[in-house]
Amino acid sequence: MKKIAILFIVSILIFTSIIPVQTQAHPQDIFKSKKLTDLIEKQKVKLFNTNLPNNFLFNPENIELKDDAFHGADLFNYAEWWYFDAIFENNLSAQITFYIFSAMTQKFIVVGVTVYKDGFEVFANEKYYIFNDLDMSREIPYIQIDGKQLMKGYIDDLSGNWIYDVTIDLIDSSIDLHFIGRSKGWKGDLAIGGWAAVLPKADVAGKINLNGLEYNVKGIGYHDHNWGMNLFDLLHFGWHWGRIHSDNLTIVWFVIQNTRFDSENLCVISRENDYINIDPKDIDFQAKDFSLDIFWWIPNSFTLKVNTNDIYLTLIMDAASIDSDYKINGHYCRYHLNCVGNIVIDNQLVDLSGIHLAEFMRFR
């Protein structure tokens, strides 16, 4: 991902504003367009006022399959990505990302796979493609590169389940996974673009081949999709994200840090047929036990509490392992968290203890 960030940031050094791309338009016409003027004004607001509105409230809503298709943007600089992860029964876990970004006039896609054993990285690889090699759909979740399907999402006619097939071939390794959705997905608008938790919880099964060693795997997975992010969003301090699974529900939490001390807390609880959005005022998130990771301080533990009239959640999350990676645009940490806690919902006590995944992205 380091090459992604380098190209993504270098483009802002060349272009001081984001310019819409217009098909078959003369460059002078671009600068004269009202669309450009309106866009620059919007970006000025974003540049000098990165805080969310005082009355901001994340409002998730139902999704359609098209919401997970390619969105794109009429910008020289933007980013969009599909994210998958899974924790398997044999102490393996995996993260898969399809990352599209635009740097100046060229678009790229990066396919990244990281596999962990007991929370520690045992394999990581990325493949870079130019946009011309890519076949995507704006109607369904679908990615094909050089004539080979890498990702496809669809709804099973008989069961109604959302299903995703993910197949990636890398040097001496491959991954072939089948995701079946088990909880209701949702979408919503953030200050840093659109976000959809398409599969808050999914059954996952398939095969992972690492340097000739093949593993049959099954476990619990997750899939989300982000779009509409551009370089001005890097003015935010960063974010924390995590997901917690139990037998019957999934908790997805997300903390957007506008500055080091100003943040917005989000939490959505998904079940098989519905989801519950938690009001930010009822969420208490704390990052604790900071340690110096070469240049920057990173947290080693977290607490998450929710207290409403009918939902009570308390979680203590300590890092079992941290995969730290420095990028030109910031610092990315992937956590395997040892979680202890429970939630009271529908007058039932649900244990949430176990190993769960989280991340911390810091831009500045």
Does CATH number 2.40.370.10 belong to domain 236-364? yes
Partnered with residue 94 across adjacent β-strands are: 86, 115
Q: Collect all residues with Cβ–Cβ distance below 8 Å to 52 and sequence separation of at least 6.
A: 191, 256, 258, 264
Burial 315-346 (b: 16+ CB within 10 A, else e): bbbebeebbeeebebbbbbbbbbbbebebebe
Query: Strand 92-103 to strand 106-117: parallel, antiparallel, or no bridges (unpaired)?
Result: antiparallel
CATH topology of domain 1-234: AttH-like fold (2.40.370)
Cα–Cα distance measured from residue 58 to residue 192, given in angstroms and rounded to the nearest whole number: 12
- The domain segmentation of the chain, as residue ranges, is 1-234, 236-364
Q: 273, 271, 254, 251: which is closest to 263 by C-alpha? A: 254
From first to last of its 364 residues, the chain has per-residue pLDDT tens of 444 444 444 444 333 333 333 333 333 343 345 544 454 444 434 433 444 445 567 899 999 999 999 998 766 677 899 999 999 999 999 999 999 887 666 778 889 999 999 999 999 998 888 877 788 899 999 999 988 999 999 999 999 999 999 999 988 899 999 999 999 999 999 878 899 999 999 999 999 999 889 999 999 999 999 998 876 666 677 889 999 999 999 999 999 887 776 778 999 999 999 999 999 999 999 999 999 887 788 999 999 999 999 999 999 999 999 999 876 567 889 999 999 999 999 999 999 999 999 999 887 7
**CA 198 vs CA 204, 253, 348: distances in Å:** 14, 14, 26
**CA 18 vs CA 33, 41, 236, 265, 329: distances in Å:** 13, 11, 18, 29, 18
Instruction: Report yes or no: 308 and 289 within 8 Å, Cβ to Cβ.
Output: no
236-364 matches 1-234 in CATH topology: yes
